[in-house]
Structure 1
């Protein structure tokens, strides 16, 4: 009876396998038969199948450990998956490469086997295991792995990683006695402990631009604004100049801030666009037409739209016809998707995108989007170069989940382009996205806000990873923020990212002035977020607005 069931199962599988592209059909047959020679032949086949074959061979005992390691590394470098790095770590240990094993296990964290292996290697004196545990944020395991005596630096860093700052302090003091880096680390720890005078002394001992910046932070916290400005100007880093200009403005020394804003505007840091916008605002307030024109000319991206600049022009369809040409790999990706082999199709797409010219690679992105794989398509597109005349924009800014977005946008009185822009910046259309702070899903809700929206909608909280629920909750929340902000988009977007309470406090501190609100809010992230959403919104409107 059992044999008949096995045969029946085999017969049921055959029609499915027969529809697979030939190399993948050969792979399934070779893997099922544990045919090492058949798998070896597939290593030369173009496409993701060679990665699958390498992985399978690495896990078979038919080859030597060194050959298996070579194949395991090939799979791990392509996939960067914890399961593959575990095999690399195991095989490196077999071959006596303990430091290399520690490096591989570090890439497999937070897998329990990887953590246990690193603790074991650390106990055997492999110091690279300390760095791997720390980089993987396995702080408790790092403390467990450290010897009873010594290793003050790693012990202090592990304790600080666990937010046990007071316990970490003596170890940081010992570190400071050994190296300049230790003084910098001690200064940062003392800032966290709000021991500002001691922090200033530690940064002074460290010296250099980083030390000067740290002194500025400590002096600013102590209320010594003039001394903080001098320290920031000594540091001369973009972040230091940004903080110095804020202090100069607040103390009525705007004229001194202007050349520093100009220096930032001409640089390449994340503050360049913010400084340019601020120059434009201040020039208008001061009646400086020349400076206003200079700043206006340099304004780009989302913040330029706030200054009244025209939005971007959409690409001309006739200029982008080449982007739709046939490309290698496209047919295989589509066939795998039709057969329900999504993981293999995504692997095939990545393999070809890394080897094709930009036009071909964007063609592969388009295949994924036609099959509704929005998040996967943008992951693939992240590192691709743009196409001439912005022909990549329709793929870089797709109308993801179109029916859901249009339905919920209409229900809550939003433009679908705004909802797409927020969703793209929040999660890049990945319904399973989880941020370091625990925000989940397409619209990146933290648990408390998700529950509050559900309560206001009069329903039990849905699943934040459910696409329908995420789009509905996001549209409702964005509508509510716009209403609370009297339809002021900058306020609503800041509230979406930083929270309504943060936004109310920052607006009140700025006297309700949106320009001062943008400049003086205490955190950088909401301001950068607003710029990114505004730009995405403008691109979406250029591509799809007004019935396009």
Structure 2
């Protein structure tokens, strides 16, 4: 068992966690008697504070709910022997409890993982007869145990029987199409778009390294040799980028504008129009920039750049004293771009005000309805949530992966799948599903949707490090979300590692004296400590400016200092964000600041 020292500190961390609204199914194991420690341990686990959760589990009293939560967390932690012992102890102490059936599931699962396949198989067969909701999952587990025990014929008979069954009422997919336990055949995926040609990638590298004439020559040669290429739009966009970095804004605007003129279907057509308008804006050619941005709105009504073009058209209208046009654009931004970077910029300036505006992504509780009516007709979704309650993450993941193939554009299906993946700790998948659900949702979104889109992982560690470094936890969470989507093992092509994507050379500098090992950056605590310290240094270096500090975190302080050589960039941070020549950094600053504002709401810190 783990040591119990430091439990006073551990309990103090619990004030850092918001209880929130439990995900579907979780409330069933956290109500009734108990001292609240069982619920606190569950929250710690879902916040990815696994070591704290395990330590808290050791300190819980031996009441019914605490003992049950101990079984569940030990099961999720993969400590199968301890989990099996805890489940056996629960069944001995509370054989008639409503939770006894759940502990029989955990006992069967854990002894199977310990290699006691015959015993586990028999237990799963008993559960198949007892548990109507999870009967097919129990049979599948029984088949797997029999196969591992060398009883192949017995396993095959079970799986053949399952495969012959047609999905029953409330089933979205057939979980056993192959007749094999835990078959994870992936659906055929459409071929990925091929990467840009080598010559265009080489030209882009030359632009980024300041070799502008070399890049222009390569791009001209490409267009001459490939007049009908599907990459003509990219070649023209890179030509505009090269001219813009050279300071030749007129030719840059012409090249950017020609992307959509010569290849309207190019994925760079809308960005080309926005950059063409931006170059005209820097030349004080307001007529030209407004015409380019109006073309963007007409030709690309679904573009993600509409908010940017409307924001800058609003600024031009305000500076020109065109009150009617300014009011129209302001209304458009507030109505159609809520919670975007530009909506928050308007809100900071006092433009997004009103009695109903509390700074939250939707009015409090407006979308928090009970979706039990929907789940009642979706047996396999209820299976997934029930398995999560049991701590059987493998089985819940198996069902979720299958359901994901059939979710289509059903907003409620996507939303509930996002909740499953969120509770599995698979944030990239959960965020993607929640984004799709959000785009299809009619009416106010549930708060839980935002909690999936903006997960509060490692919140205790983040609050501790933020307090030590004078930062807001909401800012650190937003950076972590953008950097790694909370994947501790993330590694970028450039070699940045861990939750906060620290480069090894930066980690070595932050460590100071000592034998630095780059792989320590994959440890969540180390990554949070170094990333928070580095971010705090940048905020201080750039006089408290979040825009400048975030740009430096992404692109490096030296690049930010180069961009700040422009007097206009130093005066106007809106201008600075749009004038950064790296599209990745422009987007990074906007996405992190959006996340910062929403995390501030979720954490109750205000704005």
TM-score normalised by L of structure 1:
0.65
Q: Are 2:337 and 1:278 equivalent residues in the alignment?
A: no
Offset of residue 77 of structure 1: 0.9
> What CA distance in whole angstroms lies between the structure 1 residues aligned with 2:179 and 2:322?
65
Residue pairs, 1:81-120, within 5 angstroms: none
Q: Are 2:584 and 1:525 equivalent residues in the alignment?
A: yes
The corresponding residue for 1:229 is: 253
Whether the 8 Å contact between 2:273 and 2:296 is mirrored in structure 1 is yes
Which residue of 219, 224, 228 maps to 1:199?
A: 219
Q: Are 2:189 and 1:76 equivalent residues in the alignment?
A: no
Change (3 A) 1:250 1:375: closer
Change (3 A) 1:388 1:242: closer
Whether the 8 Å contact between 1:42 and 1:50 is mirrored in structure 2 is no
Change (3 A) 1:51 1:450: farther
1:231-268 Cα offsets, whole Å, 9 max, x none, are: 44344432333333343344443443233234335643
The corresponding residue for 2:341 is: 302
Change (3 A) 1:9 1:322: closer
The corresponding residue for 2:161 is: 41
The corresponding residue for 1:427 is: 484
Change (3 A) 1:48 1:241: closer
Change (3 A) 1:239 1:388: closer
The corresponding residue for 1:536 is: 595
Residue pairs, 1:10-49, within 5 angstroms: 10=117, 13-14=120-121, 17=124, 21-31=134-144, 32=147, 33-35=151-153, 36-43=156-163, 44=165
Offset of residue 439 of structure 1: 3.2
For residue 321 of structure 1, give the secondary structure of its aligned residue in structure 2.
coil
> What CA distance in whole angstroms lies between the structure 1 residues aligned with 2:475 and 2:602?
13
The corresponding residue for 2:570 is: 512
Change (3 A) 1:225 1:540: closer
> What CA distance in whole angstroms lies between the structure 2 residues aligned with 1:324 and 1:405?
34
Q: Are 2:364 and 1:316 equivalent residues in the alignment?
A: yes
Offset of residue 277 of structure 1: 2.7
Structure 1 residue runs of 5 or longer lacking an equivalent are 1-6, 59-71, 81-102, 108-131, 138-155, 167-190
Whether the 8 Å contact between 1:48 and 1:348 is mirrored in structure 2 is no
Offset of residue 331 of structure 1: 4.9
> What CA distance in whole angstroms lies between the structure 1 residues aligned with 2:419 and 2:397?
12
1:354-392 Cα offsets, whole Å, 9 max, x none, are: 557544553454355456554554355353344631112
Offset of residue 319 of structure 1: 4.3
Whether the 8 Å contact between 2:488 and 2:523 is mirrored in structure 1 is yes
Offset of residue 202 of structure 1: 4.8
Offset of residue 531 of structure 1: 1.7
1:101-144 Cα offsets, whole Å, 9 max, x none, are: xx9xxx8xxxxxxxxxxxxxxxxxxxxxxxx9x95x8xxxxxxx
Residue pairs, 1:365-444, within 5 angstroms: 365-370=418-423, 374=427, 377-384=430-437, 385-386=440-441, 388-391=443-446, 392-444=449-501
Change (3 A) 1:254 1:201: farther
Offset of residue 24 of structure 1: 3.2
Whether the 8 Å contact between 2:411 and 2:436 is mirrored in structure 1 is no
Change (3 A) 1:263 1:274: same
Whether the 8 Å contact between 1:412 and 1:479 is mirrored in structure 2 is yes
Whether the 8 Å contact between 2:160 and 2:179 is mirrored in structure 1 is no
Change (3 A) 1:201 1:442: closer
The corresponding residue for 1:253 is: 285
Aligned pairs, number: 434
For residue 471 of structure 2, give the secondary structure of its aligned residue in structure 1.
coil
The corresponding residue for 1:56 is: 180
Structure 2 residue runs of 5 or longer lacking an equivalent are 1-113, 129-133, 204-210, 261-268, 353-358
For residue 497 of structure 2, give the secondary structure of its aligned residue in structure 1.
coil
Whether the 8 Å contact between 1:229 and 1:247 is mirrored in structure 2 is yes
1:460-492 Cα offsets, whole Å, 9 max, x none, are: 656233222222222222222221221111112
Whether the 8 Å contact between 1:350 and 1:380 is mirrored in structure 2 is no
Q: Which has the higher contact order (CA 8 A, sep 6+)?
A: 2
Change (3 A) 1:544 1:40: same
Q: Which structure has greater helix proportion?
A: 1
Residue pairs, 1:426-465, within 5 angstroms: 426-455=483-512, 463-465=520-522
Whether the 8 Å contact between 2:318 and 2:326 is mirrored in structure 1 is yes
Whether the 8 Å contact between 2:199 and 2:222 is mirrored in structure 1 is no
Change (3 A) 1:23 1:284: same
Residue pairs, 1:161-172, within 5 angstroms: none
Whether the 8 Å contact between 1:225 and 1:247 is mirrored in structure 2 is yes
Offset of residue 512 of structure 1: 0.8
1:56-75 Cα offsets, whole Å, 9 max, x none, are: 389xxxxxxxxxxxxx8x82
